[in-house]
Amino acid sequence: QKEVEQDPGPLSVPEGAIVSLNCTYSNSAFQYFMWYRQYSRKGPELLMYTYSSGNKEDGRFTAQVDKSSKYISLFIRDSQPSDSATYLCAMRTYSGAGSYQLTFGKGTKLSVIP
Amino acid sequence: DAGITQSPRYKITETGRQVTLMCHQTWSHSYMFWYRQDLGHGLRLIYYSAAADITDKGEVPDGYVVSRSKTENFPLTLESATRSQTSVYFCASSGGVLTGAPPGYTFGSGTRLTVV
């Protein structure tokens, strides 16, 4: 079993829809939970991050973490064609001596159709 | 310009040739990473470095060599390129836990390498 599982999609939704992207994980040592967005032919960029269980909101985006179920989600409200990208979840463990390690999901490709 | 830059953006090379991908960052981040990204596999860590002259293997290091003589540069060399090394390569950097920066890596724009 991979430490982080993410449905690769692809996911296609109409403009204005609510999008739900999810990851599950098995390592209880994960501390920070992140979502990266990657546009075509670009590098991943950090979109949101959370530390504890609960919700964190940033505009149309909400990141949700449920540590008891080892499950994280990213919700996109009022989705726009500009949200079309691959979304990768990432989780962080402390490696000692001030360093940390990220474990990535494989990414979900999202297309928002006008 | 501040940031992390990779060069070249695109590269076509022949099987058996040596090729070097360059990565340069301007933040003086201690940690630097090389990933390859392939359909169905996601991001896979090739090598990483905690500081100048300190490097370590990641998940898929075979066929690759890295060096880090200066903090800002982290080149990746394919000693004898094979078709299985056709991929998109990403360099990333991080300041580590103690810098107070957001808890993630910053990625370059990638190098798309084709081995024919």
Domains of chain B: 4-115 (2.60.40.10)
State how far the Cα of B30 lies from the Cα of B47, in Å rounded to an integer: 14
- How does residue B99 score in pLDDT terms, banded at 50, 70 and 90? low
Residue-wise pLDDT tens digits, A43-79: 999 999 998 889 999 999 999 999 999 999 999 999 9
Q: Is the pLDDT at B88 greater than 80, yes or no?
A: yes
CB B22 within 8 A of CB B70: no
> DSSP letters of A15-51?
TT--EEEEEEE--TT--EEEEEEE-TTS--EEEEEE-
How far is the alpha carbon of B69 from chain A, nearest alpha carbon, in Å?
20
Task: Please enumerate in sequence order all residues whose Cβ is within 8 A of that of A65, keeping only pairs 6 or more positions apart, or say none.
Answer: A33, A50, A52, A53, A54, A71, A72
Q: What is the pLDDT of residue B2?
A: 65
Hey, are the CB atoms on B108 and A43 less than 8 Å from each other? Answer: yes
Hey, are the CB atoms on B103 and A34 less than 8 Å from each other? Answer: yes
Q: Is the pLDDT at A98 greater than 70, yes or no?
A: no
Residue among A34, A42, A99 minimizing CB distance to B97: A99
Q: Hey, which residues 22-41 in chain B have their CB within 8 Å of chain A? A: 30-31, 40-41
CATH architecture of A4-103: Sandwich (2.60)
